[in-house]
Copies of this chain bind each other. A is one copy, B any other.
Amino acid sequence: MISYWADFPGMTEAIEKVSGIIRDASASNNLVISERISGLLDGNGKMLRPGFLLIAAGFGKTGDKHYQLAAALEMLHMATLVHDDVIDDSPLRRGLPTLHTLFGRREAVLIGDFLLSRCFLLAADYTSPRNALNLARIIATICTMEIEQNRDRFRSNISLRGYLRKITGKSALLFSLACFVGAYEANAPKVVCEKLRRAGYNVGIAFQIIDDILDYSGDEGLVRKPLGRDIAAGLVTLPLICALPLDTSGSLQKIFSQNTFSPDDSEEITALVRKSGGIEAAGKFAALYTNRALREIGLLPPGKQRDMLEALVRRLLIREG
């Protein structure tokens, strides 16, 4: 969704440049690959991670390599989406049929691997060895957290701390890296890089919490994916964690008395989470992390970049009012 960036001076062109690099990096003799990845790019992704990286780069001296690194991060993100969809057997993503629905699981796994390898290729080529290492570490962490999340399916004894740990690994580290790497590779002052790293971390946490809230409360047309999928897949997210102590009827506790639950309970759980105020409570956490992000951003050197970053965070995280 390139139009997402229309209000941000220069960003539409920058994001288009990143798309072009991804298309080039996936152009090979193999038409299947280029077509599939082109299809993913046309699928209206907001290109948030490249956007954060490029805005952060503006705190130093932006160069060609930033576009390459932005492309690497987006390819990593695309790889995780493709594999997630295979794993979850999701029919839709951003309102469009998922890759494995169209072309089979087999091809989707391989396209994901291809994207991962291209991500590393760009990172190895354009980043400092230190940041290539950081990236490899983060990918390993993303996988670890996904594996943990998978292991914990249908277990109800998920703590707030466990949840935060998982979404840090799944989402926040990548936003954090995007902001840090953008500034670091642009030779921005160290203190600016560190502030951006923290801002990115808080943005990532808030972003994931909001995503998890929308799975309970969203408008299917707006979210562009089916609702209630998390709980049906056995994932315990923040609205439910918040709802447990709030549900005075005791019905939630009863469902979870065995520390496990079944997919058949999904509808009842969803209704109880909404009724007990779990969504509003989770919203307060999202606001907390959003405010932390905005505070870090407020400490950055004033100017166009800071304004743009603030505007982006507001649009992204305060979208639901």
**A interface residues (Cβ-Cβ under 8 A, vs B):** 28-30, 32-33, 79, 83, 86-88, 105-107, 109-114, 116-118, 120-121, 124-125, 129, 132-133, 136-137, 139-140, 142-144, 146-148, 150-151
Q: For residue A112, which residues in chain B have a CB less than 8 angstroms away from its CB?
A: 113
User: Given the interface contacts A121-B137, A125-B133, A140-B121, does A150 sit within 8 Å of B87 by beta carbon?
Assistant: no
Find out whether the CB atom of B114 lies under 8 angstroms from the CB atom of A116. Answer: no
Given A144-B30, A144-B33, A147-B33, A139 contacting B117 (CB threshold 8 A): yes
Seed contacts A30-B148, A112-B113, A116-B116; 11 additional CB < 8 Å A-B pairs = A29-B144, A33-B144, A83-B110, A86-B109, A105-B105, A109-B109, A111-B143, A114-B140, A124-B129, A124-B136, A132-B132
A148 near B113 with CB under 8 A, answer: no
- What B residues does A143 contact at CB under 8 A? 110-111, 113-114, 117
Q: How many copies does the complex hold?
A: 2
A146, B117: Cα distance in complex, Å: 14
CB distance from A188 to the nearest CB of B (A): 23
CB distance from A149 to the nearest CB of B (A): 9
Does more than half of chain A's interface fall in helix, strand or loop, or is it mixed?
helix
Contact residues in B for A117 (Cβ distance below 8 Å):
116, 136, 139-140, 142-143
Closest CB in chain B relative to A153 CB, distance in Å? 9
Determine the chain B residues whose CB is within 8 A of the CB of A133 once the complex forms: 121, 124-125
Residue of B nearest to A132 (CB): B124
List the B side residues contacting A106 at CB < 8 Å. 87-88, 150
A105 to B132, Cβ gap below 8 A?
A: no
* Interface pair B121/A124, CB less than 8 Å apart: no
Q: How far is the CB of A32 from chain B (nearest CB, A)?
A: 5
Flag if B32 contacts A148 (CB, 8 Å): yes
Q: Which of B30, B124, B140 contacts A147 (CB 8 A)?
A: B30
Chain A to chain B: the 5 pairs with minimum beta-carbon distance, closest first: A117-B139, A114-B143, A121-B136, A117-B140, A120-B136
* CB-defined A-B contacts under 8 Å, sample of 25: A30-B148, A32-B151, A33-B147, A79-B113, A83-B113, A86-B109, A87-B109, A87-B110, A88-B106, A110-B146, A111-B143, A113-B116, A113-B143, A113-B146, A114-B140, A114-B143, A114-B144, A116-B139, A117-B136, A117-B140, A117-B142, A118-B140, A120-B136, A124-B136, A125-B133
